Amino acid sequence: MSHQSPFHLLLKKTVLLLALLRCLPLPAQSLEPEARMPPEDYNLVLGTNSFYASYQHTKDTKIMEQANQTRNMGSNILKFAVSTKALKDYGIDDSAIEDIMDVVSLMPDYQKSFDMDFTYYFMWLHTATGIKWKKGINTTQEKLLYEEMYDFASHLLSTYDNTGKVFFIGNWEGDWLLLRKGKNTPPPTEAEIQNMIRWFQIRQRAIDDAKKATKHKNVAIYHYIEVNLALRGLENKPCVTKDVLPFVNVDFVSYSSYETTKRKTYQANKDALQKAVTYIEQQMQPKQGLPFSRRVFIGEYGEHATKSRPDSFRRQFANTKEIMQIALELDLPFALYWNMYNNEYTDEGDSKNMSLINEQGQKRPAYHLHQRYYRDLNNYLREYHQQNHAYPSHKRFKTKALSVLETIYAELLAEYFPK
């Protein structure tokens, strides 16, 4: 769907191609993939965020290193950002960028990642138009935002037609976008709340329209809104859950769950998470035709561990297992760990160890928890399908997944944290 002349489109593509040829890095050694079987076509629920950080362990490009690390672990879920920031980090000239399709055209790593054998893709994708929704969206800007999202959604549906891939397009922590991060910042104005509502409505409408207009089968795309301060709504304070969600017919909600998933015990975590998820669901408009029984998933969870607190490493590992278990028990469609590589440090420069692979290249206990979970459940699904010519029901899978998780956790606990 485009409203530009053929000459303008040809000129634009030429400028973008020249910029790409000037700025692409030289070919580099890729991460050597481990021997791996294709993942089974089944939602294993548990995954990770794969945003690149300040360190690397290969000569591969940043995005592809993360994608390969995630796939080598055995996951069929990839979550990353599609943004102009990646162009800057790669040293690619972004002066000719007008929308997100330009970014995808200039960054081959995006298509390479989409072409990999992941099934589920989650993307932080805001806009490459330069429009600041918080300042208001006029009619011209609405058209640009709509066409940007429509064109990208249509591109994914047509390019990956009949591949079985499922794409989720959303935002980074919405409450920080609305409220501004900080303890003493003023609450959002009513105008800012209405501007966010309009921005999300435009994005949802564009995706819905692209799905209706683009011929496709066996490929899906959904829009999600990510919230991170849902508990504010229960206190009648301004937040996305209370003030925005009821007015957007969104497909899914991602919950960046740190406010509820860093409690001291399993039961405290489960009670807090269930309370928040239920409240979020109550604010959502009903919507038919979606693939899961629940529409809220955990977009981020994790806990710090630092060398100044040696016991924190054991608690971090226990917390990771608890949230994985709770997500399965509550039938949440996904729970995504933060992060493959660490990106948080103390004021003294010490790592907070929110990683599956650390700065020294060590695969940490949580990495092995995920990796063995994928290994055992992919083997189970493969054997079950061979014997029954179908995959198990969700209820049967859930029982098996919880059993596998418990067994693997006990093994790793004894291995890494012996009493």
Tens digits of per-residue pLDDT, 371-407?
999 999 999 999 999 999 999 999 999 999 999 999 9
Phi, psi angle pair for 25, to nearest 5°: -65, 155
> What's the confidence (pLDDT) of residue 181?
73
Beta strands 46-48; 77-81: pairing state: unpaired
> What's the confidence (pLDDT) of residue 31?
43
pLDDT band at 419 (very low <50, low <70, confident <90, very high): confident
- Residue 77: strand pairing partners: 120
Residues recorded for the chain:
419
> What's the confidence (pLDDT) of residue 12?
56
Tens digits of per-residue pLDDT, 88-138?
899 999 999 999 999 999 999 999 999 999 999 999 999 999 999 999 999
Rounded mean pLDDT of the chain?
Answer: 92
Q: What is the 3-state secondary structure (H, E, C) of 164-205?
A: CCEEEEECCCHHHHHHCCCCCCCCCCHHHHHHHHHHHHHHHH
Does 275 score more than 90 pLDDT? yes
Residues 336 and 148: their CA atoms lie apart, in Å, by 27
Q: Which pair of structure tokens corresponds to residue 102?
A: 């330009």
Phi, psi angle pair for 130, to nearest 5°: 85, 0
Q: What is the mean pLDDT of residues 34-48?
A: 85
Residues 218 and 179: their CA atoms lie apart, in Å, by 39
- Is the model more confident about 419 or about 39? 39
Q: What domains can be seen in the chain, in order of their start residue?
A: 44-416 (3.20.20.80)
